[in-house]
């Protein structure tokens, strides 16, 4: 079966036609062999406006539905995702190029956030606050916010949407989703699944709208005053364009941007764990995760052994079609990603770096862009090391004392994920303390990627400061009202003000 035929059969099982249009300007491709899967019409600024209007109408109904009943819709969504996990996971593999187990893992993440959101639908709580006035009570409530705009990146084509949408739906919001123009098919499959879940749960039509296209379509969504929150995931460049536009109309933005994640390998590190953690974090999804490990900061006493073991592991990595069950390294998303990898390696050489392994093209599947993951020993943290190259390129830096390692660790613009491998409890605690890692995620004895949905996910500095997923991230999708209720017969003023 061709990959295009595979896609058609997946959509048939999901129960929705793909809606290809041979005249369309959005070309859907698979990075596996670069072949065209079909074309779709992009939205115009007018059709984006119409879809925002439909989402707003759905919101006006949805906010009147009790939150636990809204949870029943998300429960249906989670159940349908369980039913279609294999198909949706395979579609992620076909469209984003990640291996089957990672494609399925992404769908599992969607199922997990639906479970979390269903529970939350009974826990959207505010505070009661002691009033300074007799016969008065203060409380806060969290109300539905409105239409949430979700802009997502190619590398997590469905999970990031679900982190936002599952919470937004239980919070009483509707969603307009602009997926990456490189991964539209997975978004259309999710919309079909969400529409079916809404039908089964009796939720209003139009709660989820998908807008198709590149940055202009994103801009139309960003500028729409009926969208109080724009949750945007992608490069720091994109976030720096989106945030001022949303701020100009005093909207809110929730930004999940680029990372430049590092792991410190201390003298007492369990090197078995460290090697496994490093390889998965640096090479998983062919280095195209926001949390991919890009820098190893290793103590000089364990450097030789660590590098020997890492190079040996890298040299046996199976590279090939992500649809083959033995593959661990699939393709880069496109030719420009491969060119970016090569350009970074040119810079590395002129900065005095030594390529220890990889760094060349891999002959895997004709038409795809496959590379041998690279490890580079760097004399210092030059500008290229401080830059996120979205490919499997791992820099090695050496340190003598932990303060130096933490300083190197934090001396980059991004602040997403980080790790330390150590058996020394003082080092571990220091790393996760206020003077340790400056990232949103700081791990001990596990790698930088593969977060669970129960925690708040996101990072500081150029990563944008947003938090999604677990913990109290749901508050992003609601508006807070503070209520003072007077049940007395007097009207005392706050701060003791006397007004006649």
Q: Nearest 5°: CA angle at 74, between 472 and 219? A: 70
Q: How far is the CB of 155 from ligand NAD (least distance, A)?
A: 5
Nearer to ligand NAD among residue 102 and residue 256 (C-beta):
256
Interface residues toward ligand NAD, by CB under 6 A:
151-156, 160, 178, 180-181, 214-215, 218-219, 222, 233-235, 238, 241-242, 256-259, 290, 388, 390, 416, 463
The interaxial angle of helices 425-432 and 402-410, nearest 10 deg, is 30
| Residues facing residue 229 across a β-bridge | 148, 252
Q: How far is the CB of 410 from ligand NAD (least distance, A)?
A: 18
Catalytic residue among 76, 102, 181, 256: 256
Nearer to ligand NAD among residue 168 and residue 430 (C-beta):
168
Nearer to ligand NAD among residue 88 and residue 150 (C-beta):
150
256 is catalytic: yes
Nearer to ligand NAD among residue 164 and residue 327 (C-beta):
164
Please state the separation of Cα 278 from the chain's center in Å: 20
Q: How far apart are CA 237 and CA 233, in angstroms?
A: 11
| C-alpha gyration radius of the chain | 24
H-state helical runs in 321-462: 335-350, 402-410, 425-432
Q: How far apart are CA 459 and CA 447, in angstroms?
A: 16
Residues 6+ apart with CB under 8 A from 238: 151, 215, 218, 232, 257
Q: How far is the CB of 258 from ligand NAD (least distance, A)?
A: 3
Nearer to ligand NAD among residue 181 and residue 196 (C-beta):
181
Q: Nearest 5°: CA angle at 390, between 427 and 342? A: 115
What's the Cα-to-Cα distance from 236 to each of 76, 414, 456, rounded to whole Å? Answer: 35, 9, 20
Q: How far is the CB of 308 from ligand NAD (least distance, A)?
A: 30
Residues 6+ apart with CB under 8 A from 476: 167, 229, 231, 252, 254, 466, 467, 468
Nearer to ligand NAD among residue 106 and residue 377 (C-beta):
106
Q: How far is the CB of 159 from ligand NAD (least distance, A)?
A: 9
Q: How far is the CB of 230 from ligand NAD (least distance, A)?
A: 9
Give the catalytic positions in this structure. 256
């Amino acid at each position: 079966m061709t990959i295009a035929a595979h896609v058609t059969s997946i959509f048939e099982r999901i129960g929705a036609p793909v809606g290809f249009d041979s005249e369309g300007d959005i070309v859907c491709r698979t990075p596996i062999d670069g072949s065209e899967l079909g074309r779709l019409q992009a939205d115009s600024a007018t059709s984006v406006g119409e879809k925002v209007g439909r989402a707003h109408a759905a919101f006006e109904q949805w906010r009147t539905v009790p939150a636990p009943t809204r949870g029943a819709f998300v429960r249906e969504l989670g159940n349908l995702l369980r039913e279609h996990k294999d198909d949706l996971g395979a579609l992620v593999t076909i469209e984003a190029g990640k291996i089957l187990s990672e494609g399925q893992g992404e769908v599992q993440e969607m199922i997990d956030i639906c479970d979390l959101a269903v529970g939350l639908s009974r826990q959207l709580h505010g505070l009661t606050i002691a009033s300074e006035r007799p016969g008065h009570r203060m409380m806060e409530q969290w109300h539905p916010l409105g239409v949430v705009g979700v802009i997502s990146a190619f590398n997590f084509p469905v999970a990031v949407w679900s982190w936002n949408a599952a919470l937004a739906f239980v919070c009483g919001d509707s969603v307009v989703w602009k997926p990456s123009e490189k991964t539209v098919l997975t978004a259309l499959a999710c919309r079909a699944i969400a529409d079916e879940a809404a039908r089964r749960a009796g939720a209003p039509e139009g709660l989820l709208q998908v807008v198709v296209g590149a940055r202009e379509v994103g801009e139309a969504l960003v500028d729409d005053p009926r969208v109080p929150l724009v949750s945007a995931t992608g490069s720091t460049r994109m976030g720096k364009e989106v945030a001022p536009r949303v701020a100009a109309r005093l909207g809110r933005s929730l930004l999940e941007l680029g990372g430049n994640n590092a792991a410190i390998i201390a003298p007492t590190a369990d090197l078995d764990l460290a090697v496994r953690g490093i390889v998965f974090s640096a090479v998983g999804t062919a280095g195209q995760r926001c949390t991919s490990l890009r820098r190893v900061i290793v103590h000089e006493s364990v450097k030789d052994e660590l590098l020997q073991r890492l190079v040996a592991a890298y040299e046996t990595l199976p590279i090939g079609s992500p649809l083959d069950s033995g593959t661990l390294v699939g393709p880069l998303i496109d030719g420009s990603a491969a060119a970016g990898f090569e350009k970074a390696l040119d810079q590395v050489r002129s900065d005095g770096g030594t390529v220890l392994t990889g760094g060349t093209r891999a002959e895997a599947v004709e038409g795809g862009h496959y590379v041998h993951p690279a490890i580079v020993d760097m004399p210092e943290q030059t500008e290229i090391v401080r830059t996120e190259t979205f490919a499997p390129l791992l820099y090695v830096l050496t340190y003598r004392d932990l303060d130096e390692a933490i300083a190197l660790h934090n001396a980059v613009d991004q602040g997403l994920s980080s790790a330390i491998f150590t058996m020394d409890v003082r080092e571990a605690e220091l790393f996760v303390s206020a003077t340790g890692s400056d990232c949103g995620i700081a791990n001990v004895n596990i790698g930088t990627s593969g977060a669970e949905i129960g925690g708040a996910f996101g990072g500081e500095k150029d990563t944008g400061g947003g938090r999604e997923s677990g913990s109290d991230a749901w508050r992003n999708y609601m508006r807070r009202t503070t209520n003072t209720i007077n049940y007395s017969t007097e009207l005392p003023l706050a701060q003791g003000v006397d007004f006649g």
